[in-house]
A and B are shown apart, each in its own frame.
Chain A
Amino acid sequence: MDTKSLRHRSFLRYLLAAIAVVAFTAVTASAARFGTMCQENYQNGWQHTLPYVWERCAYFNNELDDTDTKVFYYSLVGAKPTWENTSDQYYLDNVDLFYGSTHGGAWSTASVWAMYDQNQLAYSSSMRLGDEANRLSIFSTYSCETLKFNDGKLWLRMGPIFRGGLRYATGSYDTFWDGLTTDETGEDYADNLQAGYSIKYSWSDGNSDWWVDNDIAVMATGTNSTNCFSRLDGMTWRNFTTYPRLMDAQIGYYCYRYWSQ
C-alpha cells in the first residue's frame, strides 16, 4: 500500500472516530423529558396522609432537571383522567419518564393508584401507555404492591399498560415505606439514572438504605424470554430509545426482577 493510501485510510479512521464521539455526545447529552405527579394528603382524609411524599417528589425533580427537561409536576387533584386513557396523551404519555408517589394496591384484575379525590383510583385496566403524543417509555411509581407478582396475575394487571408500547415499569411488589429515611429515594433514583446505571439498578439502589425493607421490583416486556431479559437488564436512561417499542401482539413475554428479604 502506498503512502497516499495509508494517509487516506488514517484520515478515514480519524473521521469515523470523530463522528462516533460526536454521535455519542449527542446521544448522551440530549435531554429527555420527564413528568411527576404526587400526592401527600387526600380529600376528606379518604386516604391516610403520606408525610414525606412532597419531599420525595421535589428532590426527584430537583435532581433530574439538572440534566433533563421537566415537562410537568402536578398533584393528583382531579388527576384520574391524566393517568387513564381519557387524557393521558396530555400528561403521562407526553414525557419519556413518569415518576409518581401515592398509595397503591394490587387487586385481582388491576393495579390501582390513589388519587386525591375521594374514592378516585387510577386503574391499570384503564391505562395504555406509550402509544400517543411523546409516547411514555418508563413508568415509575413509589407506591405499594402495584408490581405484585406472587399471585401469578402480574401480566393480567400490567398488560393493559404495556400493550401501548411502554418499555419499562418500576415499582413495588409489596410495601414501599413512607418515612424520614425514605424521603430521598426519588433523588437517589434520579442521580443513578443520570450516572448511567441501568434502570433496574437505578431503581433498586435508589430505594434501598439497608434499614427500610422496601420491596423493590422492575418489569419489562419482550418478544420472548431472552429478548425480555435483555431489555430488562440493558435499558438505561440514556439508551432506552435504542430498544424498539413492543405493542400488543408483539409482546410474547413479560419479565421482572425483584429484591427480596
Chain B
Amino acid sequence: MTHAHTRYRVITRGSGLITLVLISSLASAADFPQRVESANRSNREGLSRAEIALMKAKKGPGKDAGAEFFMKRFAQSKSQITTAGPSNRTTKKERIDVMGQGWGLKVYNDGTKVRYRNYGALDSKMNLAKPATQKMSLQQLESVGRQFIDSHLKDVITLGPNESLVPHFTQHQIIGGGATAPGAKPDEDRVVASTVVFSRAIDGTPVVGPGSKVAVLFANDGSPVGFDFDWPAYEPAGKTQKLLDRANIQKRMQQLASVKLDAPNVKVQRLECGYYDAGNKKRNPSNPIQAGCLVQSVTREIVDPALNSKDPNSGHILRATIDPIPVGVTVEPDASWPHAAKFHGAQLPRAGGPAPAPQPPATR
C-alpha cells in the first residue's frame, strides 16, 4: 500500500471543543480517483449534504433462479467465463454451489450476490506472469471491466434513476519467493492476475460497505476469468433522513467505535461516508439503507518496549478494526447492524467463546 493523500482529522477534546487537524492519510494507490475524492470529502464534510432519501433493497429472484440464469447464460460461451461441461451442484441454506471442470459458481440467498471463478483457466496462464511493475493500470482495468459488465452483466448490474457505476479500486495477485539458502535474496515478485472493483453512487452519494459492489477478474492476457457482485436493485423507502454534520459525526464515532480513535497509537486509515449497505449476507431487506461512515483504524501496540527500543520493527502487535457508524440524526432501527441497534436498545445475539485447552501431560 502507498499512502499519499492528505485529509483532515477531527479531534474532540474535553467539553465538546472540536479541532480540525490536518494529517497524512492512508489511501491506497490502487484506489480510483473517485474513491480518493470520496474519502477526502468524507474527512472534510461527512456526507456533504443535510439529508438523504432512504432506500430499500428490492428482493432478488432467489438463489435457484439465479443459478439457473447464469448456468444458461454461459453454457454456450466460448470464453473462459463458461458453465459448459459436467458440473456438480450443492444446495445449502444460504447458497447454491455449482462446481464444473476448473470453474465454480456460487449464488447466495435471494440471488443478488453471485461469484463465478474459472480458476482452472487462470492457473493455466501462469506462464504469463510478469514483473509486478508491469501490472495492468487503473485505466486499463476500468476499461476492460466496463466492457465485461456491459457485455455480460448489464441486466443484473442495473442502475436506477440518478445511480451511477463508479470505479472503486483494483487488486493484483502477485507471486514471489526465494531460495532458503542462507543469505539468498528473494526473487522478483511477478503479477499473475488483476481485479477491478466498481461501486454505486446514488445522486452522487457513494454506497459504502460490501453491498453494491461488482468485480471482474482478469488474467494477464486481458481475458476475464471471473466476476462477482453483490448488487440488489434499490428503490426509495419513502422517507428522508437528516444527517449529522462533520463535527457531530466525529462525536458519534468516538461514542460508537470499538477503538479510541484519538489515541496516539491509533491511525485512521480510511473514513468513507455514504449509504451503508452491509451486503447480501447481513442486509435485512425490511430495513432501509441509511447513512453511515465506515471507519478503518489500525492500532500499533508495543508489547515488548525493551525490544522495540532496540529494533523499531519488533516488539509490536497490530490491531485492525472496522466500525460502521450510523450518521443519521435519527438512526433507523436495524437489528442486523449492532452500532445502529444500540439506538433502539437492541442487543444482538453473540457467539460465546470456547473453553481453554486442557493441560497436556507434564512431560513430553
Contacts and interface: CB of A to CB of B under 8 A. Distances in A.
Interface of A: 36-41, 46-51, 53-55, 57-59, 72-79, 81-82, 86-87, 89-91, 103-105, 107-109, 112, 114, 116, 119, 121, 144-145, 149, 151-152, 154-155, 159, 174-182, 184, 191, 195-198, 201, 204-205, 208-213, 215, 221, 225, 228-229, 232-233, 251-261
Interface stretch (B16-24, B72-80, B314-322): B314-322
A47 B356 contact: no
A82 B352 CA distance: 21
B338 A180 contact: yes
Contacts of A221: 180
A51 B258 contact: yes
A116 B93 CA distance: 35
A181 B322 contact: yes
A195 B97 contact: yes
A151 to B, nearest CB: 7
A178 B320 contact: yes
Contacts of B338: 180
Contact of B278 (A50, A74, A145, A181): A181
A54 B353 contact: yes
B60 interface: no
A163 B176 CA distance: 19
A256 B180 CA distance: 13
B141 to A, nearest CB: 12
B311 A179 contact: no
Interface string B60-71: 000000000000
Interface stretch (B4-12, B36-44, B146-154, B294-302): B294-302
Interface in B88-138: 90, 92, 95, 97, 99, 104, 106, 115, 117, 119, 123, 126
Given A155-B180, A225-B177, A258-B174, A38 B169 contact: no
A145 B104 CA distance: 30
B176 A210 contact: no
A91 B356 CA distance: 12
Contacts of B364: 86-87, 89
A195 B338 CA distance: 31
A253 B356 contact: no
Given A179-B323, A181-B282, A48 B299 contact: yes
Contact of A261 (B126, B169, B258, B314): B169
Nearest to A213: B28
B126 to A, nearest CB: 7
The 3 closest A-B pairs by CB, nearest first: A255-B177, A179-B322, A77-B356
Contacts of B84: none
Contacts of B352: 54
Contact of A212 (B215, B322, B361): B322
Interface string B238-259: 0000000000000000000011
Interface in B191-224: 192, 197, 208-210, 213, 215
A48 B259 contact: yes
Contacts of B258: 49, 51
B320 A259 contact: no
Given A112-B317, A119-B303, A261-B30, A54 B360 contact: no
A81 B361 CA distance: 11
